[in-house]
Amino acid sequence: ARLVVLVSGSGTNLQALLDAIAERGAAGYGAEVVAVGADRTGIAGLERAERLGIPTFVCRVGDHATRADWDLALAEATAAYRPDLVVSAGFMKIVGPEFLARFGGRCVNTHPALLPSFPGAHGVRDALAYGAKVTGCTVHFVDDGVDTGPIIAQGVVEVRDEDDESALHERIKEVERSLLVDVVGRLARNGYRIEGRKVRIP
Ligand code: GRF
């Protein structure tokens, strides 16, 4: 399967995918990263791709007159690489109708909380502030809401009394990276069906 991965920051989830593909081979893993897209320049996520000669693209909201123009530009830049699956791995923008028209049902996102708890841009901070004793991460299909699409897999992470946001997020990311690698590989190799809120991977 052809993957386009969207990032906004350090790209350690992207790196986990790249490492798995390097280890097992694209055929063995069932997928290859054909391009990496971002909503901003100057981030480690783009450097990780450039280092391997993987094509990159950047679509900045500020470069477009309207949000809808940005959404269309992102959709077209992504479509140019003919992805079978789009992976939003720390991509911090909400995609819109143009993107979903093309990739709805074939775009997965990873979120650092146990959805439906703590959706949005501060899931780790919100779980900590709430006093949750366990949190974790969720890989789900992207729909037109914010972190609301059908859940594919989740991983549980304990919250420790001494945790601050970054310590907890790092612990979550250890689980998140392996969960994302496992899910993307299974979707790519086995195919899948989305039945309402259920995801079936044969
Ligand atoms: C991940 O935990 C992702 O779920 C969240 O931001 C983090 C991105 O980390 N949205 P990285 O850029 O993959 O290192």
pLDDT in tens, 11-64: 999 999 999 999 999 999 999 999 999 999 999 999 999 999 999 999 999 999
Q: Is there an atom of ligand 1 within 6 Å of 89 CB?
A: yes
**Token pair for residue 76?**
């077209």
Helices assigned H by DSSP within the chain: 12-29, 44-51, 67-79, 97-103, 123-130, 165-190
Q: Which ipTM did the prediction report?
A: 0.91
> Is residue 13 a known part of a binding site?
yes
For the chain, how many residues are written? 202
User: Which residue among 64, 111, 122, 140 is the active-site one?
Assistant: 111
Can you tell me the distance from the alpha carbon of 42 to that of 45, in angstroms, rounded to the nearest whole number?
Answer: 9
**What b-and-e string marks burial along 123-136, b requiring 16 or more CB atoms within 10 Å of the CB?**
bbbbbbeeebeebb
Please count the other Cβ atoms lying within 10 Å of the Cβ belonging to residue 62.
7
9 lines ligand 1 (CB under 6 A): yes
The per-residue pLDDT for 71 is 98
Per-residue pLDDT tens over the stretch 112-171 = 999 999 999 999 999 999 999 999 999 999 999 999 999 999 999 999 999 999 999 999
Tell me the average pLDDT across 87-112. Answer: 97
Torsion (CA) 59, 63, 65, 68 in degrees, nearest 10:
10
pTM: 0.96
